[in-house]
Structure 1
């Protein structure tokens, strides 16, 4: 516990700032011409593949549908060359190859060719949708050759504990990118670009697996600007990049400018920032924002921790330049789906970034890493999936991200009723979820909230339940909520099932309900069609 608090204090001291956290207010959440409720879509699952076309072509064909659903941003999988044709891109090989060069046995990436990507982005722009690229800046994999250098073996469970003296090893650290031939970037990587903080998971010479820190008298070792997990969490996998190296910094800065200009994308999702020197990353984001026309470029970081205090320390560290996926909120959803009626819904927003710092929170229910069988498995079950989506899509706080796996048919995690309900919720967000928010979180099994609407939108009332379905006491339990005096004498109707109707009193009050273990979105009857 003392180590943890010491880590938080070091971050706070190093990044003390007078600016209050509100990253989302300084970013474009969609095209400037789009004034409706913004929403992001993660357009891939872990094993995404289309049977008849490339993934980029699939994206292009779906853009009109996404625009109709109200999507304003699409987050793409890593678009650059991986270690093989089927690599997702998190096994990053060459950032400068977007499916243009014959490398790793393929010209196209898993997702398609460079030209197909550029065309898809162009069509997205035409339909009022921004494209967000996945930036994998922590490591490189699939080296072209080995080289010999001095390294110190360290304990994988405590990277600060050395297991022996410096030794000569042969590691995969040479990246020549022969298929690209120096186009776009002439940089060739070797162990010098991985020296201070490199971790290798294979010694080619002795065929020994392990984690090795390249040894040098001129470097202090692991970066101190990372989290303290496993002693020091600088190393994640592959060849860990030394972000203090000036050549590395120059190349990664140049790539950021080039890839945005080349593709037409407008921002980045930052992968695995727990393991990246945060001073470098803050400088990198600021460099992107200094480019012409990029002052409001979108940036969201993956910092995987359900501990909201640790997450907030990074919010402070990035000084309003980066938003963060709200992992603590996702964890609450996961726990609610596991515990069922035993979970107290009144606490569903507690200890989350959405509750403590909504201006920095990118909310989500699930993603490719939380899928069953994946590295961060924490899947939100169907029994609470739509309730969770209602809480992120209709409350008007944070910036919601919808998962492709919940919206589109796929063999990994698709559920037809979830996809159908999610489209209803997206429609409700687009048409009704506007105006002041009022929460009614009084019952452990039934919570609700209302949106009061504005001059152009009628507003809505939402009820979420995890009550046991076989208990008659919970059958259609109502919550008395206010939707505004302007609705006095009118009726609200249900979005998820026909036949439901709530009469609104002279003061704007109504008894809104949903079936046990379900949810309901209520909208004015005269606006429902």
Structure 2
């Protein structure tokens, strides 16, 4: 019956219409500022600073981030992980953010509770909000084993049972002895979970659905991939259990009040009960008095059609990472000049509902070697960033790995260019936009500026360097608006030469093959 209700909700969305776009009701940065807002993901998968904790590193970088126009910083999960160096996605105890001696450490991989609080306070002083990465789907690193009934299911179809119920031993008891009931007295056991992937009795790995007692099986309100995608990894949390809901609701309120953070990044929502997540967000908004609470969800799919029902379901309380746009960038970087740039926004959230889209080029999951590897090559990285930073739609997110030196994915040329593009967003990317998408390998657009900021002209190319003659195919004729009549423009990215603007506002802008350029009016014009 619940599944039928969900389908009816989806049909009703088409009859009644979607809620207002989420971004317009959310805090994206200092409310008094007229500058563009910008998110920054401040970590890579294996991020580790050689001289200080990650929270101290964040605090140290705050002034530079503010100068570059960053108004939100998305931090890694602050909770205690199952291992000393766990990134936090291997969530052990949400209520321990580097305060208690658990898993043989007081600090998390990222630092101590006090360091986190100090970094967030420093960010606030510089007009930067902080987003907490919320891992509510599963737990890992239990303190004890328990014995209970479970059914192994087909990993490729979780609705298909492989055997009758049988007794297994599973690591499902979480006592949190090091925290000793501080903040929360809840102890977790097998009653609070739906499944796991390891039977310690037989030493067999698989996907096991816990049965018996009050267990209800998999939630019906999750993604339908693999039959039912409730189970992802670790010990899967049952979000329908009353005690679970209450503890997680309390934690959501507590983490914002305790740290001073301003919002959430929600991990792995396709695996969690949709109604729980909606109730979680409503509770936290009401309990904290933050009607403009920012939240962005990770629903990992390149298929826009699968994201659409979630937009309706979350009633304007969540934005979504534009994963389809990321895959367009990834595919374009692989195809090179064979890719038609005029189609780069096809079938993306940005083209469908820009007011719900958080755009990005790459993140920690798309890095080379990760399970979702889909890295955007350096041949298109800056072009992609120009398209999300300077066109004025959606809410862009910059990746730490593209900006800061690191051992995983750093490219100095990309970092230098990205710095210029972030500066250009803060200074010039304002006002009405006019697109000039007329050539498959060279597209352009103009931002007209507003009362407080000048505009700019942007040209993007994916042609093979050296294979294009300096011809009309790599020049875009664009009108920069009446305020620039008779002036001249120069490159903000360091290219040589100037572009003369006619008396009626037209100019012919050249872009080097395989490059991006941002053109601004010469001073004194």
Question: Which category describes the TM-score, using the shorter chain as reference length?
Answer: over 0.9
Aligned to 2:314: 318
- Give the distance between the partners of 2:5 and 2:326, measured in 1 at CA: 24
User: Do the aligned residues in 2 keep the contact of 1:81 with 1:89 (CA within 8 Å)?
Assistant: yes
Q: For 1:248-259, what aligned pairs fall within 5 Å after superposition?
A: 248-259=244-255
Distance 1:8 1:307 in 2: 19
SS class of match (1:233): coil
Structure-2 residue corresponding to 1:30: 29
Aligned to 2:339: 343
- SS of the residue corresponding to residue 210 of structure 1 reads strand
**Where does residue 43 of structure 1 map in the other structure?**
42
Match of 1:3 in 2: none
Cα contact 2:18–2:311 (8 A) shared by 1:
no
The CA deviation string for residues 354-394 of structure 1, in whole angstroms up to 9 with x for no partner, is: 00100000000000000000010000000000000000000
- For the 8 Å contact 1:468–1:474, the answer to whether it is kept is no
Structure-2 residue corresponding to 1:97: 96
Report the alpha carbon displacement of residue 292 of structure 1 after superposing the two structures with TM: 3.7
- Does the CA contact (< 8 Å) of 1:475 and 1:516 recur in 2? no
Counterpart residue number, 1:366: 362
What is the total number of aligned residue pairs between the two structures?
Answer: 521
The alpha carbon displacement at 1:499 in A equals 2.4
| Aligned positions of 1:78-89 closer than 5 A | 78-89=77-88
Using the alignment, how far apart are the partners of 2:100 and 2:87 within structure 1? Answer: 17
Compute the displacement of 1:471 (Å): 2.0
Q: Structure 1: give runs of 5+ residues left out of the alignment.
A: 1-5
**Contact preservation (8 Å) 1:354, 1:398:** yes
Structure 2 gaps of 5+ residues are: none
Task: Name the structure 2 match of 1:504.
Answer: 501
What residue number does 1:246 align with? Answer: 242
**Cα-to-partner distance string for 1:216-245 (whole Å, 9 max, x where unaligned):** 265442111011111100000010000000
205-214 or 86-95, which deviates more:
205-214
Q: Could you state the TM-score of these two structures normalised by the residue count of structure 1?
A: 0.96
DSSP 3-state at the match of 1:505: coil
1:162 aligns with 2:161: yes
Supply the distance in 2 between the matched residues of 1:65 and 1:459 (Cα, whole angstroms). Answer: 23
Alignment of 1:146-295 (within 5 A): 146-194=145-193, 198-216=194-212, 218-295=214-291
The 8 Å contact of residues 6 and 221 in structure 2, kept in 1 or not, is answered as no
Partner of 1:363, secondary structure, is strand
Residue matched to 2:129? 130
In 1, Cα distance between the equivalents of 2:468 and 2:381?
Answer: 23
Show the counterpart of 1:466.
Answer: 462
1:371-427 CA-to-partner distances (Å, cap 9, x unmatched) read 000010000000000000000000010000000000000000000000000010011
Do the aligned residues in 2 keep the contact of 1:146 with 1:170 (CA within 8 Å)? yes
Deviates more, 1:26-35 or 1:460-469: 26-35
The answer as to whether partners of 1:11 and 1:314 remain within 8 angstroms in 2 is no
Alpha-carbon displacement from aligned partner over 1:177-209 (angstroms, at most 9, x marks no partner): 000000000000001111xxx221111111111
Structure 2 residue 401 is matched with structure 1 residue 401: no
Distance 1:284 1:335, change over 3 A: same
Helix, strand or coil at the partner of 2:380: helix
Corresponding residue to 1:453 among 449, 456, 464: 449
CA deviation map 1:102-132 (0-9, x unaligned): 0001000000000000000000000000000
| 1:482 and 2:479 are equivalent in the alignment | yes
Question: After superposition, what is the alpha-carbon deviation per residue over 1:9-55, rounded to whole angstroms, capped at 9, x for unaligned?
Answer: 45614767655340001100012233310000000000000000000
- Is the contact made by 2:106 and 2:112 (CA closer than 8 Å) also made in structure 1? yes
Structure 2 distance, partners of 1:131, 1:320, is 20
Matched, 1:441 2:437: yes
- 1:385 maps onto 2:381 in alignment: yes
Cα-Cα RMSD: 1.7
- Three-state SS of the structure 1 residue aligned to 2:177 is coil
Contact map agreement 2:468 2:513 (CA 8 A) in 1: no
SS in 2 for 1:202: strand
Per-residue deviation, 1:470? 2.3
Contact kept, 8 Å, 1:21 with 1:316, in 2: the verdict is no
Q: Distance in 2 between matches of 1:174 and 1:218?
A: 17
Question: Aligned partners of 1:314, 1:160: CA distance in 2, in Å?
Answer: 22
